[in-house]
Amino acid sequence: MARTMAEKVWEEHVVRRAEGEPDLLYIDLHLVHEVTSPQAFEGLRLAGRPVRRPDLTIATEDHNVPTENVLGTIADSVSRTQIETLRKNASDFGIRLFPMGDIDQGIVHVVGPQLGLTQPGMTVVCGDSHTSTHGAFGALAFGIGTSQVEHVLATQTLPMSPFKTMAVTVNGTLKPGVTSKDIILAVIAKIGTGGGQGHVIEYRGEAIRSLSMEARMTICNMSIEAGARAGMIAPDETTFDYIKGRPHAPQGAAWDEAVAHWRDLRTDEDAEFDTEVVIDADELSPFVTWGTNPGQGAPLNEVVPDPASFDDPSERAAAEKALEYMDLAPGTPLREVGVDTVFLGSCTNGRIEDLRAAAEVIRGRTVADGVRMLVVPGSMKVKEQANAEGLGEVFTEAGAEWREAGCSMCLGMNPDQLTPGERSASTSNRNFEGRQGKGGRTHLVSPLVAAATAVRGTLSSPADL
Amino acid sequence: MEKFTVHTGRAVPLRHSNVDTDQIIPAVYLKRVSRTGFEDGLFSAWRANDPEFVLNKPEFADGTVLIAGSDFGTGSSREHAVWALQDYGFKAVLAPRFADIFRGNSLKGGLLTVVLPLEVIERLWDMVETDPSTEVTVDLREREVRAPGIVEPFEIDDYTRWRLLEGLDDIALTLRDTKSIDDYEGRRKPWLPVTQ
C-alpha cells in the first residue's frame, strides 16, 4: 500500500504493536535542556532507574541562560539552581552536556542539526514543542512533556497514539524579499492555530524544494503553531549536502547506504493524505502578526483588521481581545506600527543564513533612534561563523547588541525580556500575551523585516528602505 | 498517579478560545526544579491584572472542573501547565478541542481532559454562570459528563481510560517488556548517530 513519509518513518520505529494499545516507538535521538528535564531526572532517581541510552541523549543549556557575561555567575538564584541541576543530572546519568561557554552550546534545535545528529528517517524528541524543527530533514520529530521525557530516558521508547497526515503544498516561486518565515506565517493564518491538530504535516511543492535546509527548518519549526504534532520535508540533495561531513554524519560506505535509505523515505506517488492545503508562493509577500496568537497575521501591506470583519464569533472575540492587549486600532496600516525593540534570533530564525540576510539589509545603516536591537545567535558555532564573516561588526556598527547564544527574548524566562507595554518585532515563533516578558507586545516577522524595522522604527520590509 | 474514576465538583467557565500554555503558566515559573507548588503561577497574569477574570470571582473559588473554549493548551509543551491546574485544584478540563501535547501531558498526569461539542460547552457556561453552585460530574467509567439536564457522552480510547482508572505509571508498563526493546535495538541501522 502506498504510504506517506511520516507513515514510513513511524513503521520503521515500531518496537511493539498490540491490539488496543498505542504503538511503542523507538526514539533515535533525545535532546534535553534545563527547563523540562529536572522533574524527569528526579523521577528516575526516586524509582532507581538508569538512563537506558545516554549515547542517544544530548543536553544543552539554552532557555534560562543569560546572553551576556556567560562565563560569570547567573545572578538569578532560581535560574542558577536549574542550570546547576542539569549539570548534576548530566554528570550523574552520563549524558553529554554543552554548558554555557562551550563552543557547541546553543539552542537545542540549532545544536542537533549543526552536529549532524539530526538525520532523515530518525525519530527525534525533546521536552520542547519546537522539536518539530528537525522534521526539515525528513525526521519524525515531536515535542513532548516532562512525563514523556522521563519515559524516554528510562526506556528510549514512547507509546504514541496514531496521527493523521496533512500535505501543505507550496507551488510557484517566492518573490525576492519573501522568505520561508512568510510562508509559514501565511500557512498558520490560513489554517489557524488548531488547523493541524492531530496531524503530521508534510510540506511539499516547488517552493519548498527550492529552499535551503535552514529555511526549511524555519517552516517545520512553526508547525506546532498550526497545532500540528510534527512537520516534515522529504530529504533531497539539499538535505544530503547539508549533513555530509558534519561531526556525526555517516562516513564512507555507511554514507552511501544511508543516502540510499533516505531516498526511499519519500512519500509514495499515489499515497493519500487525510487533509490537503495548497498555497501559491507567487502570491505571498512579507507577513507580520497583529494579534496574540500566531494565526492572527496579515501581509505587511495591509492594515490592522477590524474584529467585526470576522464571521466566526469566537474569532471575533479573540481579535477584540488581541487588539486591546496589543493597543492597536482597526484600520491602522501595519507599516505605521512603531516598535521599541527588534529581536533577531531563536530556534526559528537564529541560524547563520538568518543573520546573513539581516546583516545584508542593515549593513551601512543604523538602528533607528529609540529602538534597541538584540541579535542573538542560535549557537556559539553560529556566532563564531558570523564573526568570521564580519557580521558581528555589521550589527554592532549599526548600533545593535551582539549577544551570546541562547533562547533569549523568545520566551521571557532569562534576563532578555520586554517591559510592560513595550512593543517588539521579533523573529521568534510566539506572540502570546506576555510571551517575551510581562505586558510585552510581540509582532512576529522574518529576519528581513526585522532588520528593515530596526532601521525605520516601524514595521517595514527592505523594499521600504 | 492518582486514579481517576468519577469526579463531581463545581465548574469554572473560562470563555476564551486559544488559551496557550504561556497564559496557563508563564515561563518565569518554569525555573523551578520541583514537581509541586505551581498553583501560584496558574493564569498569573490574568489573575493579577483583570479583576473580572473568572478565577478572581469568589463564587468560582471552589471550582474543580474547568470549562474552556476551543484549542485549549496550545503552544509550549510545558507540563507545568498540567501541574499548575492540578496544584490549583482542578481535576478535569472540558473543551471543544485541545492542543495535542497538552492533552497528552494531562492524560499522563491524571488530569482528565474531555472533548465536548461547542454547543454543550456553551450550555454548560450559561448554566454555571447563572448558578455557580451547579455541580458537574465527569464520569470516566461511563465516559460521560453530567450536569442538570445534560448527559453527554465523550470519547476516550480504551487504553488511556484503563490506565487512568487504574492509576498506572506508563514507564512501569513499558518496562514489563524490555525484551522487545532489546530486540528492536538489534535491528537498528548501524549508521545511526550516537552522541558520545
Of B20, B22, B77, the CB nearest to A145: B77
Closest chain B CA to residue A313: B17
**For a pLDDT cut of 70, what percent of chain A falls above it?**
100
Q: Give residue-wise pLDDT tens across range A347-390.
A: 999 999 999 999 999 999 999 999 999 999 999 999 999 999 99
Residue B148, exposed/middle/buried by CB under 10 A (0-12, 13-18, 19+)?
exposed
The three-class DSSP label of residue A366 is coil
Interface of B with A in 113-152 (CB under 8 A): none
Note whether B33 contacts A159, CB cutoff 8 Å.
no
Q: Which residues, in sequence order, are bridge partners of residue A344?
A: A375
Residue B106: predicted pLDDT: 97
Residues contacting residue A379 through CB under 8 Å, at least 6 positions apart: A104, A105, A106, A107, A110, A111, A114, A350, A405
Residue A413: predicted pLDDT: 94
The pLDDT of A33-50, averaged and rounded, is 97
- Determine the structural domain holding residue B12 and report its residue range: 6-187
The three-class DSSP label of residue A465 is coil
What distance in Å separates the CA atoms of residue B187 and residue A66, rounded to the nearest whole number?
Answer: 43
Residues of A in contact with B109 (CB under 8 A): 147
In a domain, B105, yes or no: yes
**Shortest CA distance to A43 belongs to which of B69, B172, B178, B191?**
B172
Residue B26: predicted pLDDT: 96
In a domain, B73, yes or no: yes
Please determine, for residue B169, whether its predicted confidence score (pLDDT) is greater than 90: no
What distance in Å separates the CA atoms of residue A128 and residue A143, rounded to the nearest whole number?
Answer: 5
Closest chain A CA to residue B174: A155
Of A16, A39, A127, the CB nearest to B35: A39
**Shortest CA distance to B75 belongs to which of A311, A224, A28, A284?**
A224
Q: Nearest-CA distance from A276 to chain B in Å?
A: 20
Report the number of distinct structural domains present in chain B: 1
Residues of A in contact with B170 (CB under 8 A): 147, 151, 159
Please determine, for residue B2, whether its predicted confidence score (pLDDT) is greater than 90: no
A5-160 domain in CATH 2.60.40.10? no
The pLDDT of A412-436, averaged and rounded, is 97
Closest chain B CA to residue A44: B171
In a domain, B195, yes or no: no
The pair phi, psi for residue A446, each rounded to 5°, is -80, 165
What distance in Å separates the CA atoms of residue B51 and residue B54, rounded to the nearest whole number?
Answer: 8
The pLDDT of B78-105, averaged and rounded, is 98
Cβ–Cβ pairs < 8 A, chains A and B? 201
Q: Which residues, in sequence order, are bridge partners of residue A275?
A: A166
Residues of B in contact with A321 (CB under 8 A): 16
Number of neighbouring beta carbons within 10 Å of residue A48: 6
Number of neighbouring beta carbons within 10 Å of residue A257: 14
Q: Give residue-wise pLDDT tens across range A106-120.
A: 999 999 999 999 999
The pLDDT of A418-424, averaged and rounded, is 98
In a domain, B196, yes or no: no
Residues contacting residue A362 through CB under 8 Å, at least 6 positions apart: A394, A395, A398, A400, A451, A454, A455
Residue A430: predicted pLDDT: 98
The pLDDT of B69-78, averaged and rounded, is 97
Residues of B in contact with A29 (CB under 8 A): 193, 195
Residue A73: pLDDT band by 50, 70, 90 thresholds? confident
In a domain, B172, yes or no: yes
Note whether B31 contacts A79, CB cutoff 8 Å.
yes
Residue B1: predicted pLDDT: 82
Q: Nearest-CA distance from B160 to chain A in Å?
A: 9
Residue B62: CATH number of its domain? 3.20.19.10
Say whether A164-283 and A5-160 share the same fold: no
Note whether A157 contacts B33, CB cutoff 8 Å.
no
**For a pLDDT cut of 90, what percent of chain A falls above it?**
98
Note whether A26 contacts B77, CB cutoff 8 Å.
no
Note whether B17 contacts A35, CB cutoff 8 Å.
no
Of B70, B184, B193, the CB nearest to A248: B193
Residue A327: predicted pLDDT: 98
Of A38, A78, A119, the CB nearest to B193: A119
Residue A95: pLDDT band by 50, 70, 90 thresholds? very high
Which single residue is written with the C-alpha cell 465538583? B9
CB distance A10 to A159 below 8 Å: no
- Render B46-57 in DSSP notation, one character per residue: HHHH-TTSGGGS
What distance in Å separates the CA atoms of residue A55 and residue A53, rounded to the nearest whole number?
Answer: 5
Residue A71: predicted pLDDT: 85
User: Is A347 annotated as contributing to ligand binding?
Assistant: yes
Residue A323: pLDDT band by 50, 70, 90 thresholds? very high
What distance in Å separates the CA atoms of residue A165 and residue A272, rounded to the nearest whole number?
Answer: 8
What distance in Å separates the CA atoms of residue A341 and residue A345, rounded to the nearest whole number?
Answer: 13
Cα→Cα distances A143→A234, A448, B78, Å: 20, 28, 10
Q: Which residues, in sequence order, are bridge partners of residue A374?
A: A343, A401
Residues of B in contact with A257 (CB under 8 A): 191
Residues contacting residue A176 through CB under 8 Å, at least 6 positions apart: none
User: Is A220 annotated as contributing to ligand binding?
Assistant: no
Residue A70: predicted pLDDT: 86
Closest chain B CA to residue A80: B31
pTM equals: 0.97
Interface of A with B in 101-120 (CB under 8 A): 116-117, 119
Please determine, for residue A146, whether its predicted confidence score (pLDDT) is greater than 90: yes
Which of 3.40.47.10, 3.90.650.10, 3.30.1370.10, 3.40.1060.10 is the CATH number of A164-283?
3.40.1060.10
Residue A272: pLDDT band by 50, 70, 90 thresholds? very high
The pLDDT of A394-420, averaged and rounded, is 97
The pLDDT of A149-153, averaged and rounded, is 98
Q: What is the mean pLDDT of chain A?
A: 97
CB distance A348 to A220 below 8 Å: no
Residue A72: pLDDT band by 50, 70, 90 thresholds? confident
Residue A267: predicted pLDDT: 98
Q: Give residue-wise pLDDT tens across range A173-210.
A: 999 999 999 999 999 999 999 999 999 999 999 999 99
In a domain, B63, yes or no: yes
Residue A106: predicted pLDDT: 98
Record the cell numbers describing residue A64, joined without a space.
534560562
- Domain A289-456: top CATH class: alpha beta
Q: Nearest-CA distance from B5 to chain A in Å?
A: 20
Interface of A with B in 159-198 (CB under 8 A): 159, 161, 193-194, 197-198
Residues contacting residue B182 through CB under 8 Å, at least 6 positions apart: none
**For a pLDDT cut of 90, what percent of chain B falls above it?**
98
Which single residue is written with the C-alpha cell 552550546? A105
What distance in Å separates the CA atoms of residue B41 and residue A412, rounded to the nearest whole number?
Answer: 14
